[in-house]
Amino acid sequence: MGFYRNLFKKCDNTSRDVKKAVIIVALMALPLVAGKPDQKRDPNAIGGRKVASGVNFYSLEKELALGKQLAEEIRKQARLVEDPIVAEYVNRLGQNLARNSDITFPVTFNLIESEEIGAFTLPGGFIYVNTATLKLSDNESELASVIAHELGHAAARHATRQASTQKLLDLATLPVAIFGGIGGYALRQLGAPLALFHFSRDFETEADFLGLQYLWKAGYDPESSINMFERVESMERRQPGAVSQLFRTHPMTADRIARTQRDIGQILPNRAEYVINTSDYEDIRTRLLDILEVQRAKDATAPQPPTLRRPNEQLDLDERPSFQL
C-alpha cells in the first residue's frame, strides 16, 4: 500500500475529481491482486465461484430493490408480451440458463414488443429481450446465446458496479431512452443513471466470456454466439438503426468474434453433442409472429388522438381545419 500513499501525497494539490480517480484505480486494483481470475476460466466451477468482485457501493438488497423499481416503470411504459405461452417459454429458457450460471439471486425474464434488435439487464437480474431479437434468431441456441450474455451482466453485477464507479467520478446521472419501436416507449422519465444500462467495453467483454460458458454449461452449442453476432452485424449493415442503441455499445467486430472463437477452443471442453434447436422454439416463434401481426393490425386501425390547442395558442396554417361549402 506504500505505492498508493505516495501517490496520494503527490495529489495534494490536485483537484477533488482527480483524487477520486486515484482512489478508483487503487480500489479496483486490489481485487485483481487478491482474486483468482483463473476460476473464471473454469466452466466446471460455475456456480461455486465469485464473478462479481470489484467496487460496488450497492448491497445486493439495495440492488434488488433498485431493479424492482425500474422494472415496475418499464412495465408501465413498455409493451410486454403478455401471452402466457410465449412468456412461459422465454422464462423457462432463461431459468434453465440461470441454473447453469453464477447467479446467486432470483432472476426474471420478459419479452418486450419492439422492432429494434436488442436485450438489456436491469440491476438485480431483471432481463429483457426484444421481440425483434427472437425473430432474428434462427434457432433456440442462438436465442439462448443472447440471454446467456445478459446473465453474464447480471451475475457479475455490472450495473451497480459501473454505477458505483461513475458515482465516484461524480459523473452526471442522465435519463436514458432505451428503445423505440412499436411500443414507442422510453425510460427518459426514470432519471436513471446511464451507467445502469450502458456498460463499459470491459464489462461487455466479460459478459461475452461468462455468457459463453453458461451457454455451454446448459448444453447449447457455443458456436451459436458467433452465428448470432454475425446475424446482428449483417442486419445493422442492411438496415442501419435496426439494432437498438444499447445493443450497439459493443459492436459485433471481427475482434469480438475472433475472441469468442478463441475462448471456445481454449476453455470449453468438447461435448459429444449440443442442443441446437427444439420444437418448442419453432412453435413459439410462429405463435409470436402471429401475435405481432394481429397487434400491428390493431395499431394500424386504432383512432389517432385529437390535435389539441391550449388557450392563447394559434394553430399552424397547415393544422387549421378546412371547410367546403
Confirm whether 30 is domain-assigned. no
For residue range 115-168, what is the model confidence (pLDDT) as tens digits? 999 999 999 999 999 999 999 999 999 999 999 999 999 999 999 998 888 765
Q: What are phi and psi of 75, to 5 degrees?
A: -60, -35
Domain contains 240: yes
Q: Domain for residue 29, yes or no?
A: no
Residue 105 maps to a domain? yes
The CA distance from 98 to 270, in Å, is 21
pLDDT confidence of residue 243: 80
pLDDT at 313: 54
Is 25 domain-assigned?
no
117 phi and psi angles, rounded to 5 deg:
-75, 130
Which pLDDT score is estimated for 222? 98
pLDDT tens per residue, the chain (325 residues)? 443 334 334 444 444 544 444 444 444 444 433 345 578 899 999 999 999 988 999 999 999 999 999 999 899 989 999 999 999 999 999 999 999 999 999 999 999 999 999 999 999 999 999 999 999 999 999 999 999 999 999 999 999 998 888 765 543 333 333 333 323 333 443 444 444 567 888 999 999 999 999 999 999 999 999 999 999 989 888 988 788 766 655 566 788 999 999 999 999 999 999 999 999 999 999 999 999 999 999 888 878 777 666 666 554 444 433 333 3
Q: Is residue 314 part of a domain?
A: no
Q: Which domain holds residue 150?
A: 44-297
Threshold 0.85, pTM exceeds: no
What pLDDT was estimated at residue 123? Answer: 93
| Closest alpha carbon to 132 in 143, 156, 116 | 116
Residue 302 lies in a domain: no
Count up the domains in the chain and report the number.
1
Say if 118 falls within a structural domain. yes
The closest alpha carbon to 293, from 96, 99, 135, 85, belongs to 135
Cell 478463441 appears where?
262
Q: Which phi and psi (to 5°) does residue 193 adopt?
A: -60, 140
Q: What is the pLDDT of residues 249-278, one digit of tens each?
A: 556 678 899 999 999 999 999 999 999 999
